Chains A and B, each alone.
Chain A
Amino acid sequence: DPKIIQKPKYLVAVTGSEKILICEQYLGHNAMYWYRQSAKKPLEFMFSYSYQKLMDNQTASSRFQPQSSKKNHLDLQITALKPDDSATYFCASSQDRTTNTEVFFGKGTRLTVV
């Protein structure tokens, strides 16, 4: 019974298009994150949110915009898609951002940009 739901599981997009990756967590956590995993850069941290506020942004491109409509939601909007954006995007959450809290991961959305 997955507690972090990511939709869709697979996504194929055309270069230049825009897509939204969905993430919902049912763990009652206050912190949520996005990570990206590709062959070039394994498991790269992108964003962290706490109580629906952006806390840390390690993504250089403004084409990546997280959106938090509810406390347990953290979607990722990607605009002007490029083939280099092809990767598996993992959503994660933790009780809070303090030290020593376990991070839980979703199963990922595999994005392919053609």
Chain B
Amino acid sequence: TQTVSQSDAHVTVFEGDSVELRCNYSYGGSIYLSWYIQHHGHGLQFLLKYYSGNPVVQGVNGFEAEFSKSDSSFHLRKASVHWSDSAVYFCAVGQGGRALIFGTGTTVSVSP
């Protein structure tokens, strides 16, 4: 069974704190991984993606993610969060020719 799991449904952090959002996948074959952000009442916006090469990828607004084949993971990190980072974050897995499949999302709440 091919799955994408985000173990944390909700994460609360203070502004300026670091945050790590976990994503694990179970897929066979060649895949690509991405993260999307969804602010309340809006559609999804692309943050970053990984397909090959350097396992640490940089995205917009200071986000980065690290791919680990051994752990089947693609965790998202940010060193210092801002209140505007409060949103729902989705990990997604794509496989050639098929649509992206998303995890259940992690809601991040940033407190002042």
Contacts and interface: CB of A to CB of B under 8 A. Distances in A.
Do A and B interact? yes
Interface of A: 4, 33, 35, 42-43, 45, 48, 55-56, 90, 92, 97-100, 102-108
Given A43-B105, A105-B44, 14 more contacts: A33-B99, A42-B102, A43-B44, A43-B90, A45-B101, A90-B43, A97-B97, A97-B98, A97-B99, A98-B97, A100-B51, A105-B43, A108-B42, A108-B43
B94 A106 contact: no
* Top 10 A-B pairs, shortest CB-CB distance: A105-B43, A43-B102, A99-B96, A105-B44, A48-B99, A100-B51, A107-B43, A100-B32, A45-B99, A97-B97
Contacts, number: 58
Interface size of B as a range: 20 to 34
B32 A106 contact: no
Interface of B: 30, 32, 34, 36, 42-46, 49, 51, 90, 92, 94-102, 104-105
Contacts of B97: 55, 97-99
A102 B46 CA distance: 7
A105 B42 CA distance: 9
Contacts of A103: 34, 46, 92, 100
Contacts of A106: 43
25 contacts: A4-B43, A33-B99, A33-B100, A35-B102, A42-B102, A43-B90, A43-B104, A43-B105, A45-B101, A48-B99, A56-B99, A90-B44, A97-B96, A97-B99, A99-B30, A99-B97, A100-B49, A102-B49, A103-B34, A103-B100, A105-B36, A105-B44, A106-B43, A108-B42, A108-B43
